[in-house]
Structure 1
Amino acid sequence: MSRLATYHAKRDRAATPEPFDAGAPSAGALRYSMQNHDATRLHWDLRLEWDGVLLSWAVTRGPSLDPADKRLAVRTEDHPLPYLTFEGVIPKGQYGAGTVMLWDLGHWRPLDDVEYGLGKGHLRFQLYGRRLTGLWDLVRIKGKPSDRAENWLMVKAEDAAAHQPDPVARYTTSIGTGRDFAAIAADAAPVPPGPAYPLALPKPAEPMLAKLVSDPPEGDDWLHELKIDGYRGMVHLGRGGPVIRTRNGLDWTDRFAPLVPALADLPARSALIDGEIVAGAGAQGFSALQQAITDGGPFGYVAFDLLELDGRNLRARPLTERRAALEELLADVPPLGLIQLSVALPGDGATALAAICAAGGEGIVSKRAGSTYRAGRGDSWRKIKCDRRTAFAIIGWTKSDSPGRPFASLLLASPEGEGWRYRGRVGTGFSTATQADLAARMAPLVRKTAAAKVSRADSRGVTWIEPALMAEIRYAEETSDGILRHASFQGLREDKMPPTAPPAPTPVVRVDRAGKGDSRKIAGVTITNADRVVFPDCGVTKGDLAAYYEAIAPLMLPHCADRPLSLVRLPEGLGGQQFFQKHAGRGFPVQMKTTPVAGEEEPAIYVNAASGLVAGAQMGVVEYHIRGTRRDRTDRPDRLVFDLDPDEGLGFAEVRAAAEDLRDRLAALGMPTWPMVTGGKGIHVVADLKRTASWDTVKLFARTFAHLLASEQPDRYVAVMSKAKREGKIFIDWLRNEPQATAISPFSVRARPGAKVAMPLSWQALAKETSANAYDTSNALTAAPKIAPERAPPVSLERVIRALTGA
Structure 2
Amino acid sequence: MGSLDRYLEMRDFAQTPEPDGGTASGHLAPRYSIQKHDATRTHFDLRLEWEGVLLSWAITKGPSFDPGEKRLAVRTEDHPLDYLTFEGTIPKDNYGAGTVMLWDLGHWQPLIPVGKALKKGHLHLRLHGARLTGEWHLIRMKTEGKRENWLLTKAEDAASGARDPVARYRRSVISQRTMREIAADKPPVETQGGKRPGFAKPQLATLSDKMVAGEGWWHELKFDGYRALIALGDGGPRVFTRNGNDWTDRFEGLLPALAETDCDSALIDGEIVAGAGLDGFSELQKAITAGGPFRFYGFDILSRDGEDLRKAPLSERREVLEEVMKPLPALGPAQLSPVISKDPEGAFETICKAGGEGLIAKRIDAPYRGTRSKSWMKVKCERRDEFVILGWQESDKRGRPFASLALGTAEGDGWRYIGKVGTGFDEDQAEALAKAMKPLARKTAPADVEASEAKGMHWITPELVAEIRYAERTGGDRLRHAVFLGLREDKPARTVRLDNDAPSEERPNGAGIGISSPERVVFEGAGYTKLDVARYYEAMADRILPHLAEHPVSLLRLPEGLGGERFFQKHAGRGFPDGIANVEITESDGKTAQYMMIRTAEGLVAAAQMGTIEFHIWGSRVDRLERPDRLVFDLDPDEGLDFAGVKDAAFEIRDLLAELDMPSWPLLSGGKGIHVTVPLRRSAGWDTVRLFARVFSHLLVARSPKRYTAEMSKSKRKGRIFVDWLRNGEGATAIAPYSLRARPGAPVAMPVSWDELKKVRKANAFDLGAALERDAEIAFPDAVSISQGRVDKLKDMLDASE
1:370 aligns to 2:368 (yes or no)? no
What secondary structure sits across from 2:188 in the alignment?
A: coil
1:214–1:506 CA contact under 8 A, matched in 2: no
Alignment-derived partner of residue 273 in structure 1: 268
Alignment-derived partner of residue 248 in structure 1: 243
Residue 241 of structure 1, CA deviation: 4.2
Residue 43 of structure 1, CA deviation: 1.2
| Closer/same/farther in 2, CA of residues 444 and 225 from structure 1, 3 Å limit | same
The one-letter amino acid of 1:321's match is E
Matched ranges for 1:370-409 at <5 A: 370-409=365-404
CA deviations over 1:713-741 (Å, ceiling 9, x no partner): xxxxxxxxxxxxxxxxxxxxxxxxxxxxx
2:88–2:183 CA contact under 8 A, matched in 1: yes
The one-letter amino acid of 1:103's match is W
Counterparts of 1:500 and 1:12, CA distance in 2? 59
Residue 500 of structure 1, CA deviation: 4.1
What secondary structure sits across from 2:493 in the alignment?
A: coil
Alignment-derived partner of residue 159 in structure 1: 157
1:191 aligns to 2:189 (yes or no)? yes
Counterparts of 1:255 and 1:506, CA distance in 2? 27
Counterparts of 2:233 and 2:179, CA distance in 1? 29
What secondary structure sits across from 1:289 in the alignment?
A: helix
Counterparts of 2:400 and 2:3, CA distance in 1? 41
Deviates more, 1:21-30 or 1:8-17: 21-30
Alignment-derived partner of residue 260 in structure 1: 255
1:487 aligns to 2:482 (yes or no)? yes
Deviates more, 1:151-160 or 1:341-350: 341-350
1:140–1:153 CA contact under 8 A, matched in 2: yes
The one-letter amino acid of 2:44's match is W
CA deviations over 1:262-317 (Å, ceiling 9, x no partner): 33442322211111111222211111111111112222211111011111111111
Matched ranges for 1:78-477 at <5 A: 78-143=78-143, 146-193=144-191, 196-199=192-195, 201-477=196-472
CA deviations over 1:438-480 (Å, ceiling 9, x no partner): 2222233333443333333222222222221110001122222
Q: Where does structure 1 differ by over 6 angstroms across 4 or more consecutive aligned residues?
A: none
| Closer/same/farther in 2, CA of residues 500 and 35 from structure 1, 3 Å limit | closer
Counterparts of 1:2 and 1:73, CA distance in 2? 18
The one-letter amino acid of 1:273's match is I
The one-letter amino acid of 1:164's match is A
Counterparts of 2:363 and 2:186, CA distance in 1? 51
Residue 503 of structure 1, CA deviation: 5.1
2:27–2:292 CA contact under 8 A, matched in 1: no
Residue 328 of structure 1, CA deviation: 0.6
CA deviations over 1:660-713 (Å, ceiling 9, x no partner): xxxxxxxxxxxxxxxxxxxxxxxxxxxxxxxxxxxxxxxxxxxxxxxxxxxxxx
Residue 27 of structure 1, CA deviation: 4.1
Alignment-derived partner of residue 38 in structure 2: 38
Counterparts of 1:421 and 1:456, CA distance in 2? 15
CA deviations over 1:170-193 (Å, ceiling 9, x no partner): 012222222222222222222124
1:213–1:505 CA contact under 8 A, matched in 2: no
1:417–1:501 CA contact under 8 A, matched in 2: no
Deviates more, 1:470-479 or 1:408-417: 408-417
Residue 142 of structure 1, CA deviation: 1.9
1:54–1:79 CA contact under 8 A, matched in 2: yes
| Closer/same/farther in 2, CA of residues 241 and 170 from structure 1, 3 Å limit | closer
Residue 505 of structure 1, CA deviation: 7.2
Residue 240 of structure 1, CA deviation: 4.0
Residue 433 of structure 1, CA deviation: 2.2
CA deviations over 1:234-283 (Å, ceiling 9, x no partner): 11223444221111111111121222333344232221111111122221
Counterparts of 1:8 and 1:206, CA distance in 2? 53
What secondary structure sits across from 1:287 in the alignment?
A: helix
Residue 349 of structure 1, CA deviation: 3.3
Deviates more, 1:360-369 or 1:124-133: 360-369
| Closer/same/farther in 2, CA of residues 413 and 502 from structure 1, 3 Å limit | closer
| Closer/same/farther in 2, CA of residues 208 and 438 from structure 1, 3 Å limit | same
Counterparts of 1:17 and 1:231, CA distance in 2? 39
Alignment-derived partner of residue 676 in structure 2: none
| Closer/same/farther in 2, CA of residues 212 and 169 from structure 1, 3 Å limit | same
Alignment-derived partner of residue 11 in structure 1: 11
1:21–1:82 CA contact under 8 A, matched in 2: yes
The one-letter amino acid of 1:111's match is L
Residue 89 of structure 1, CA deviation: 2.1
Counterparts of 2:52 and 2:350, CA distance in 1? 41
What secondary structure sits across from 1:29 in the alignment?
A: coil
Alignment-derived partner of residue 643 in structure 2: none
The one-letter amino acid of 1:382's match is M
CA deviations over 1:510-540 (Å, ceiling 9, x no partner): xxxxxxxxxxxxxxxxxxxxxxxxxxxxxxx
CA deviations over 1:87-126 (Å, ceiling 9, x no partner): 2222333222222221111111111110110000100111
Counterparts of 1:495 and 1:451, CA distance in 2? 22
Counterparts of 1:441 and 1:25, CA distance in 2? 24
Q: Unaligned 5+ residue runs, structure 1?
A: 508-807
CA deviations over 1:22-64 (Å, ceiling 9, x no partner): 5445443211111111222221111111111111111111101
Matched ranges for 1:603-622 at <5 A: none
- Percent of matched pairs sharing the same residue: 56
TM-score normalised according to structure 2 size: 0.60
Counterparts of 1:461 and 1:305, CA distance in 2? 47
Alignment-derived partner of residue 624 in structure 1: none
Q: Please, what is the CA RMSD of the aligned residues?
A: 2.0
The one-letter amino acid of 2:124's match is R
1:236–1:270 CA contact under 8 A, matched in 2: yes
| Closer/same/farther in 2, CA of residues 2 and 311 from structure 1, 3 Å limit | closer
The one-letter amino acid of 1:235's match is I
1:237–1:264 CA contact under 8 A, matched in 2: no
| Closer/same/farther in 2, CA of residues 49 and 2 from structure 1, 3 Å limit | closer
| Closer/same/farther in 2, CA of residues 238 and 159 from structure 1, 3 Å limit | same
| Closer/same/farther in 2, CA of residues 213 and 5 from structure 1, 3 Å limit | same
Q: State the structure with more CA Rg.
A: 2
Counterparts of 2:417 and 2:161, CA distance in 1? 55
CA deviations over 1:53-77 (Å, ceiling 9, x no partner): 1111111111010111111111111
Deviates more, 1:443-452 or 1:244-253: 443-452
Residue 209 of structure 1, CA deviation: 0.5
Paired residues, number: 502
Counterparts of 1:192 and 1:261, CA distance in 2? 13
| Closer/same/farther in 2, CA of residues 27 and 330 from structure 1, 3 Å limit | closer
The one-letter amino acid of 2:364's match is A
Residue 499 of structure 1, CA deviation: 4.0
Deviates more, 1:406-415 or 1:160-169: 406-415
| Closer/same/farther in 2, CA of residues 70 and 241 from structure 1, 3 Å limit | closer
1:301–1:339 CA contact under 8 A, matched in 2: yes
Deviates more, 1:19-28 or 1:2-11: 19-28
Matched ranges for 1:648-727 at <5 A: none
Alignment-derived partner of residue 47 in structure 2: 47
| Closer/same/farther in 2, CA of residues 140 and 295 from structure 1, 3 Å limit | same
What secondary structure sits across from 1:302 in the alignment?
A: strand
